[in-house]
Structure 1
Amino acid sequence: MSEFLSGDLDADLIKESPPTWRLNEPVIYQSDVAGQTFTVPAGFVSDLASVPRWPVIYLLAGGTANEASVVHDWLYSTHAVPRAVADAVLREASAVTGVPAWRRWLMWMGVRIGGGGNHWNGPTPA
């Protein structure tokens, strides 16, 4: 069963614009979609859900699924799984945290359409 194995998200805001967060504790997620458990290490930096700040879009999808977004950001930065799997993990992990189905679909569609380019193809850590 997919689930977060770590406690509540523990991160500090390290930059205001754009908002950027650093994990104080690891985030551990067991994914059925990927068939594995991911550990996002303490110290990892994420922008959480990078939803465009356009009023209607942000109102619909912003500020939700923070834990799932951290896992998704880590998967994109490490390429631990193919991009389509990383996006599926975002949707799955959002469901685990109680995000409504319509919002999960919007977020998933957003990363499928806008997640390529600089986000997926950007530099990977050494």
Structure 2
Amino acid sequence: MSAFLTDLQMENATPRDDGLWRLMAPLIYQSDVAGQTFTVPTGFLTDLASVPRIPIAYLLAGGTSNEASVVHDFLYSTQPVTRAIADAVLREASAVTGVPAWRRWLMWAGVRVGGRFHWIDTPSRIHG
């Protein structure tokens, strides 16, 4: 069963409070979708959910499931799985943290559309 095995512990990464966060302890997530467990290491930097600050978009999908957002950022940074699986893990992990289905779908659709600009292709992998 998919689950977070540790709690999210983070702090502002800069004194300017510019939306960048640093993990203070590892965040461990067991994913059924990916068939593996991911450990986001202490010190990892994240901006959480990169939702545009357009009021309606942020109201609908921003500020939810920080844990899932950290795992998703980690997967995009390290690419241990395809992009399609990384995005599916975001939706799965959001469900684990209690995000309603309609909001999970919006978050997933957003990363499927906009995430391709943040995914760095590597020649050794076929991405989703």
- The TM-score normalised by the length of structure 2 is 0.91
Alignment correspondent of 1:6? 6
| SS of residue in 2 equivalent to 1:121 | coil
Q: After the TM superposition, which parts of structure 1 deviate over 4 Å for at least 4 consecutive aligned residues? A: none
Cα deviations by residue, 1:66-114 (Å, 9 ceiling, x for unpaired): 0000000000000110000000000000000000000000000000000
Q: Post-superposition shift, 1:122?
A: 7.7
The corresponding residue for 2:33 is 33
Q: Which residue of 1 aligns with 2:89?
A: 89
Residues 67-86 of structure 1: matches in 2 within 5 Å? Answer: 67-86=67-86
**Structure 2 partner of 1:107:** 107
For structure 1, which runs of at least 5 residues remain unmatched after alignment? Answer: none
Q: Cα RMSD between the aligned structures?
A: 1.3
Letter in 1 for 2:111: V
Deviation at 1:14, TM superposition (A): 1.7
- Determine the C-alpha separation between the residues in 1 that align with 2:56 and 2:83: 27
Deviation at 1:65, TM superposition (A): 0.8
Identical positions, percent: 71
Gaps spanning 5+ residues in structure 2: where?
123-128
Q: Give how far 1:116 is off.
A: 0.8
Displacement after TM superposition at 1:121 (Å): 1.4
TM normalised by structure 1 equals: 0.92
Secondary structure of the residue aligned to 1:120 is coil
